[in-house]
Structure formats: structure tokens, C-alpha cells
Chain A
Amino acid sequence: MIKNYITIALRNLMRARQYTLINVIGLGIGLAAIVWAFQIYRFSFSFDDFHPDQERVFRALSTKEGNDAPMGFFPMPAVQLAKGDFSSIEAAVRIRHNTVDVKAGKNEPFMEPILFTDLDFFSVFNFPLLKGQNDLNDRSAILITEEIATKYFGDEDPIGKEMVLYAGTEFPKPLTVKGVLKNTPNNSTISFKLLTNYENLQHGDGTPAKPDEWNSMLDAAFFKLKTPEDAGRLAADFKKYLPLQNAARADWKMTGFSLVSLKEHAQMSDISVNHLEERPKDSAIFGPLVLGLLIWISTCLNFTNTTVARSNQRLKEMGVRKVMGGRRSQLTTQMLLECFAIVVMAFGVAVFLNSLWLPSFSSMFFIEVRAEYLTDGVLLAFIGLAVVLTTLLAGAYPAFYISRFNPTQIFKGSVKFGDTSLFSRLLLGLQVSIAMITVIGSLGFAENAEFQRTYDYGYDRENVVNIPTQNASELAAMKAAVQQIPGVEAVAGTHALIGFNLPWRTIEAEGQIKEGSVYSIGADFMEVMQMKMVEGRAFDPKLESDFDNALLVNETMAGNFGWTAAAAIGKTIRLDTQNFTVVGTMKDFHGTMLFGTIDPAAMRLVRPEAASNLVLRAKPGEVVSVFDQSKAVWEKLFPMKPYRGYYQNEVAAEAMRVTTGISAVNRLFAIITLLLTATGLYALVSLTLLKRMREIAIRKVMGASSINIVALVNKRYFWIFLFGAAIGCFGGFALTKLLMDMIFKINSGLNPATLAISIAILFLVAVATVGVKVWGVLRTNPAEVLKGD
């Protein structure tokens, strides 16, 4: 019996090749889309789930005066003290990331991210060792990942090789490679390429880190507890370290601690100052989820509609089967089996599509999505479910509906099924809505990309190059040299750079405690960056007092304290223990990427000897050549040190990449949904025409013009199309705006023109699709159609 079903199913599919092909490809796209969305979802919620004893490992977070948000920082000496002070702590791990110059063999030095940590690291976390040993007790040991092993040593055995870390440039620290670790997985909040004992940490002046440096902050601290219930009490007990800590850091007064489990911390997206990796933002998880579901539904709708359309041609077959004694359930089974066969083939297409799509998506968004169909049980279960659901969603309606009729009805021709069905047209309307949503998403984010490209950050980001150096004398030498480059318009030394570090701190004035960024800048910095004053004056390096107690605030900070730009002048602001006088109010500028709003900010003046970063502004259009020339200059001055210069415009790069990426993904999906809508529409219109061929011929003979006929055929689709487009407009507008706001605090929003263009695009696609089909009918001779009777 089963064999008979299958033979018939395959034969039917072979016979209707066009139908089979369209649906195998269509559903393949739909399945690929939900597998993609599902894998992103799983990846995002799998962070740090690969460590043993999960429930007993906790991350310590701190809170800071003036800000209730939990922060990733933790006082460095408190970790080892706590391990001694509290018996419920089984293991304690300090985590400190640094970027250092690393030299091995004859290679030039590279900058590498390195992790300084404790002996307990490998008893708390699971980062598998591939070769050698991972005993951090050995102070001379450095552990490296496979990636680093290949990069520095190629095919050679890295064990026993020497690697030299540099603090600054003068202070080498030679270490020996003792072990090779697997690369850290992408769903790990702790990520490193090199790893060594915390005691190997050197400060910029070459002094080793000491265990009691209370002014030193950890990026993260982890504790493994004997009993997880102790966490709350322990966090409260940690308060006993506050006095020591706050005495050492008057600028960073902590108010308390909390312990959150490993699982919980991996899901937190509101940890401020978090230097560990984070799971993708909600928008990056739920955006694809919505998009994937929409595509999948759209492909299912298409499947249903084309199946219904085809069923009409099979009514007679069904009638005959019934007369021959086929039971309804058998007919239903037969039809569902055919659907199932298509879905299974479609899955093959999905696997192929995702083998292309997943890697390109991963590289676009740095969200790792992979699909290992053979080894991933959860994924397999999901796919099984998806295949069954797709079969039922797409095949159930036609299968149950068509098998319901009795044969005499069918033979008499009184069963009408397909084009007149409101159900089919509603499905089409839904497809139109979905296509509309993706088209709006694609155009909306393209618009946002243009908005971001031309957005005024409040300073010149196009022509500025930043060149970090390591001390004032390097800076002075470099400054003198770049001034000789003809394309350079202005140069300044500074401590802080805009957009790349966020000197966030507590700020006090008139009894109010607020937060904001305080940038320590060189005298000519604002001139180079082309930042503008609104009120008062800029810094004057000739006034000694400006170095001591002058402050500039931006409009936002003035506003936060309740001052107008003019009223801010002359006010006293307290930073740590020192009082400053506001001498000018600056025009607002965007100190971060467009993901955030404009921050309240203040500037103070630093003396040249405290500056280590060089900023230069090139003449318009010459920034690339200036960049290359300054690199050449650097390499001549400091042949042994890597050049670290970068374009100021990189501040915009990340936001731009995200926007254009989203626009590209939406564009791809828009094309797919438009194609799906077009095939759906084509199938329905074909059916309508097939059914109404005779009527159209009669009407033509009675004098109907082509326009009359086009109107006749389209009447039944026009309203549903309009309805779908209207819903799609609202949905597309709301979803796109929501996604934009989730990702970018500053965005272009959606222009009414974008909606109008989206409607026009959809309309054109529909008109073209229907036009092709109707044109053919208009061309046929009515006599030909009416002859048969």
C-alpha cells in the first residue's frame, strides 16, 4: 500500500514538473530561512553553556555612585582576599584583558589580545588543551590558541618556543610556550588568544602588577562557590572591601556588589562597562527571527496556493478514485504524501542554500551561525518538526478540502474550487503584506545608511587621522615629522580621543551628582577636530590656570544640570576632589557610535607632557595619502614599533556596517518574497484565466475591449492586494522603525517616500506578473476557445 502511495506520488510530481520545481525551490528558501533564524537564536542563548558546574560559578558585578546599572569591573585585590576570607569560595578567577605587542622568533611584533588570569582558571572554565600542559603555576608559561600557534610558528611545534611581551616598548617580558589551547568558541564571553599568569602583568612603565593595587580594576571576577545558595550573602559581605577600594579610587566610588550565575551573566545585556564578549543584541536575534518566520510563512502560503490551484486540475482524478472505492482518508494521505515529498526535497535545497548563506551572514554580522545537520540533535529535531509543520500548513487545506466532494458533484462540474476561493486570495493578501514588510525594511535601512553616511557628528570625522604613541617624546618627534607632510592642515597632541574611549565618570555641581565623559585634550585638539563653541571661550594654553581648573561642557551636560549654554559659564564643577570653573559651552558632538545618544561631555586641558595621542587633519580629499605618508614617517622614526594610526571615520564604520548589512539582508529577502508573491499571483491568475477562458471569449465577442477584460480579471485581486499592501505598510513601518530604534539611538526613521516607493515596487511586480498572463489571453482568438462546444 505504502509503496503504491509513493509510486503514485512521485509520478504525479514528475508529471507536474513546473509545480514541483517552483515549490521545492520556494520551500527550500523558507526552510533555509527558519533554520537560519533558529540557529541565531540558539547561538545567542548558548553563551557560556559549555563550562562544568555552571550553577556553582558566579560573576561578581559592582555598582557605582550615581548609576544603578551593574558594571563588569571588580576591585583586583578583593578577589584573592575573598578567597582567603570566605570558606564557601572554592575557586576565584581574576580576568584582565590587555592588548600587548608580542614578538616571537624573527617576526616583527604584532599586537595581540592577551588574558591575565589565575591558577583556578582551568578548574572553573572549560577551554580544552590540545598540546603541552596548562599549569599556570609555572610563571614563565604562556598558553596560546591554535590560531596563534599557526600565525607565529606555522608547522613547527610551538611548545618550548619563546614569546616576548612588551609593556610599552622598552620593557620586554620573555615567556615560554607551554601549551596550545583550542580557539575560544564564539559563544564564549571570555575570549583570548594568549593566556598567562596574572603576575606577568606589567604596567606601562614596566613595573609588575602587585596584589594589593586597589586602584587597579579587573575586567571580570568569577567565583566558584561550594554552595550556590551562599551567593546573595557573599555579595553583601563583599562590602567590607569598599572602604579600601574607594580610598584608592576617589573618581570611581563603588557602592556595592552582586553575584550572578554564569548562565545569567551570559544573558545580561545591560552590564555597563563590560569588557567581556556579549551575546548578540535582542535586535540581532529577534530581527532575523521575525524575518525568517515571515519568509517561511510566505513560502508555505505559496505552496498552499499552487497546490490548491493544481488540485482543481485533479478533481476529476479524485472523482474517479472515489468511484473506484478510494476512501477519503486514503485520498488525503495520498495528497499529504505528495506534499511531504516536496518538503523533503525542499530541505535538500535548504541545506544547499544555507551552505552559502550562513557563512556570508556570519562574516557580515560577526554572529556565528552554523548548521551541523549530522551531529546536532536539537537542530535535527527542529528540522523534523519544521518539515512536518510545513507539510501540514501547506498541504492540509487542499488535501482535506479536495477529498471531501462526492464524485457526482465533480463530474457534473458543479464543484468550483481554486480561484474563487476567498481563502486563496487571503493567503495572497498575506504574502503581499510580507513582501511589503521586507521591501520597506530594505529601503528603510538603505535610507538609514545614507543618513548615517552624511550624519554630522559635530566634528570632522572625514579628514582626521589618529596616531597613538606611547609617550610624550615619541609624540613630539612624530608631531614634528608629520607637520612636514604637505597634505596636513593641522596637528595636535592630546590625551583623549573622541569616539574610541569613553572617559565616563561622576560629575558633581550645585549639589547634583551626574555622570558624563570627561576628555583630557591638548590645546589645539578642538581646532584639529573642528569642534565649535556656543558660548564662552575655548582653552587658552597661555593661561596657566586653564591647565589647572578650566572646563568646557557641551550643551547636553549643561542641560543635564539645568543650565542654558550661557548660564553654564562661570559655574563650578567638581571632579573627584578637584573644583573646575566652566569657561565655555561647546556645541554638542557625538562622542560614541550612532548606537547611542549624544553623551553629556566635558573637556579639560592637559599639558603636552601628559599627551600621548596625535591627531592630524588632512586637507579635504587627501586623507588617504596623508595616512600612508604618516605611516612611512613612523616606520622611519620607530622601525621596531608597529604603527597604530587609524582614521577617525572608523567611528562611523561599525554602525555603517550594521546598517548596510541589515539593508542587504532585507534586500535579499525582499527579492525572495517579491518572487514568491509573483509566483503566487501568477498561479492564481492562471487559474482564474483557465476557468474563465470561455467567459472572456464570450465577452470579447460581445464587444468587450482589452481594458474591460483586464479589469474583469484583476477586480478580484485588486482589493485583496490593496488590503495586503495596507497591512504590509503598517507592519513594515512599525517593524522597521522598531528595529532601527532598538539598534540605533540616532537613526533616519522612515520617510513617507520610502513607503510610497515600496508600494510602487510591489504594484509594478504585480502588474508585470498579471500583465504577462493576461496579455497572452487577450491575444487568443475567442473563436478558438468557443469552438469546442
Chain B
Amino acid sequence: MINLKNIERFYRTGIQKTWVLKDVNLSVKQGEFLTIMGPSGSGKSTLLNIIGMLETPDAGEYLFLDEPVFQFNERKRTELHKHYIGFVFQAFHLIEELTVYENIETPLLYRGVKKAERQSMVADLLDRFNIVGKKDLFPAQLSGGQQQLVGIARAIIGKPKLLLADEPTGNLHTSQGEMIMTLLKELHNEGMTIIQVTHNEKFATYGTRIIQLEDGFVRRDEEMRDEG
């Protein structure tokens, strides 16, 4: 599904280049649950953004479903965002002026889904995540865990093939974090490809594969033996 070759990313400070990603090679198959780990500032978010096509690297090649991403125009990228990729953020990034229901509904608006269909899709998710009672509340009225549930609901409502989650549990208590991870695991079991960034060793084990970023390289890349 994803094929990254010799990805480089640097920032220029004056005449000096600071490398974030030096030579990253990575391929992710459909149905994998990949965890990216590494110290702060090691370029995990940068890598995730490149995969999510929010950032363009300075060198390298990126094939998404065997198509060369760097040749896509703005419109095509927007199309991919709509239909293939969902994002979950550490800081939730819910729209404060919108209710829970409206937040989840928003991606469907951009996909031009009919009202009746939207209602049933959102209702299904609210039901599944057990937040039906909260649908008319505003984000500020929810706990962090509940907000992240909404964030995930919003990310998956469009049935993306790929879910990108940058430290989804970073702002949550452990118990809430576990709930979120269980949910991700479920989604993975249903066939969704997921790439997450986390600092939490335990949460990393929910996935099928872990890579370790250091000094701009992939230091470690191991498949998890399925213990369960």
C-alpha cells in the first residue's frame, strides 16, 4: 500500500541544514497496524505527515497504492484525503463551534453524502462508541477520552483505507488511553490499515509491527509475534 524510498527531510537554519529524516525506507502492506516509536524530535510526526501527504519531503520517492504521490496535484491529494486517509491527532483538534454530531458529520459534507445517509452513518458510529447521549454537546463539555473518541469517529466515518494517528493517547489518562487503543485494535481487526505514533511501550504492542526512528533512520523494524 505504502512504499517510501530514500526519503529525506531537512530544515534550513541559515546556511546550515538540519536533517530530520535522512534516509527512510519503509513499506506498509494493506491490513498492517504499524507503530512508530522514537525519542522526541526524532521526526515521527514528520514521517506521519509525509505519509498523510500533508508534507512533501526534500528527496525520495513515495508510492501510494502504486501511484507516485509527488506527482499528484492539489485536487488529487484532496481526493485521497476524502476517500482513503483518516487522521487522529494528539490534541484531538475538534472544531469547538460544532457539536459532537456536527464534528463527526463534517467529512461527509465534503464527500457530498445525502442528509438521510449522513444521519444513519453518524448514528451508527455514535451508537458503536457509546456516545449517543453526548451528540448535542460541544467539545469543551467532554472529557479528553470522549473527545478523542469523537476524533476517531470523525476520522473513520468516511471509511478510510488508512488511519494515521499521531500520539492519539498522548493527552489522556492510562485508562482512557486503553479504551482508545482497544478501539483501534478493533478497527484493525475489521481490516483497516493503521499507522500510529506513540511513546507508550505497552500501547505499541497493540499493533502488528513496530519501527524505531533515530537520527533520521529506521533503527529497528520488527514484526510482533501474535501472542493472543
Contacts and interface: CB of A to CB of B under 8 A. Distances in A.
Q: Tell me which of A699, A781, A786 has the highest count of chain B C-beta atoms within 10 A of its own C-beta.
A: A786
B55 interface: yes
B156 to A, nearest CB: 12
A530 B94 CA distance: 81
B45 A698 contact: no
Contacts of B57: none
Interface in B90-147: 90-91, 93-97, 106-107, 110-111
A708 B54 contact: no
A786 B89 contact: yes
B154 interface: yes
A372 to B, nearest CB: 56
Contact of B90 (A694, A700, A782, A789): A789
Contacts of B82: 703
A694 B95 CA distance: 9
B33 interface: no
A699 B81 CA distance: 11
Given A698-B95, A702-B154, A708-B110, A783 B90 contact: no
Top-6 shortest CB links A-B:
A703-B82, A789-B91, A783-B54, A703-B81, A703-B110, A783-B49
A695 B96 CA distance: 8
A694 B93 contact: yes
B87 interface: yes
B49 A703 contact: no
A698 B110 contact: no
Interface string B45-68: 100010010110000000000000
A414 to B, nearest CB: 9
A81 to B, nearest CB: 88
Contact of A702 (B74, B75, B97, B107): B107
Contacts of B158: 703
B91 A699 contact: no
A705 B75 CA distance: 8
Contact of B87 (A701, A704, A789): A701
A240 interface: no
A702 B110 contact: yes
Contacts of B96: 695
A703 B52 CA distance: 12
Contacts of B49: 783
B78 interface: yes
Interface in A505-564: none
Given A701-B54, A702-B81, A781-B55, A787 B93 contact: no
Interface string A674-704: 0000000000000000000011001111111
Interface of A: 694-695, 698-706, 708, 781-783, 786-787, 789
B65 to A, nearest CB: 17
24 contacts: A694-B93, A695-B96, A695-B97, A698-B94, A698-B95, A699-B106, A699-B110, A701-B52, A701-B54, A701-B87, A702-B107, A702-B110, A703-B82, A703-B111, A703-B158, A704-B110, A705-B75, A781-B55, A782-B54, A783-B52, A783-B55, A786-B93, A787-B45, A789-B93
A255 B90 CA distance: 97
Contacts of B91: 786, 789
A699 B95 CA distance: 9
Interface residues of B, number: 26
Contacts of B74: 706
Contact of A703 (B54, B78, B89, B94): B78
Contacts of B94: 698
B93 A705 contact: no
Contact of A698 (B75, B78, B90, B93): B93
A783 to B, nearest CB: 4
Contact of B78 (A695, A705, A781, A783): A705
Contact of A789 (B52, B89, B95, B107): B89
Nearest to A708: B110
A708 B95 CA distance: 15
A701 B110 contact: no
Contacts of B97: 695
Contacts of A786: 89, 91, 93
Contacts of A782: 54
A700 B49 CA distance: 13
Which residue, of A703, A708, A783, has the highest number of chain B Cβ atoms within 10 A?
Answer: A703
Nearest to B151: A698
A705 B109 CA distance: 11
A786 B151 CA distance: 14
Given A695-B95, A702-B107, A783-B49, 5 more contacts: A695-B96, A698-B93, A702-B81, A702-B87, A705-B78
Interface in B151-179: 154, 158
A5 B89 CA distance: 45
Nearest to A696: B95
Contacts of B55: 781, 783
B105 to A, nearest CB: 11
Contacts of B75: 705
A703 B82 CA distance: 5
Contacts of A699: 95, 106, 110
A558 B49 CA distance: 89
A539 B9 CA distance: 99
A465 to B, nearest CB: 69
Nearest to A788: B91
B69 to A, nearest CB: 15
Contacts of B54: 701, 781-783
A701 B82 CA distance: 8
A788 B74 CA distance: 24
B93 A703 contact: no
Contacts of A698: 93-95
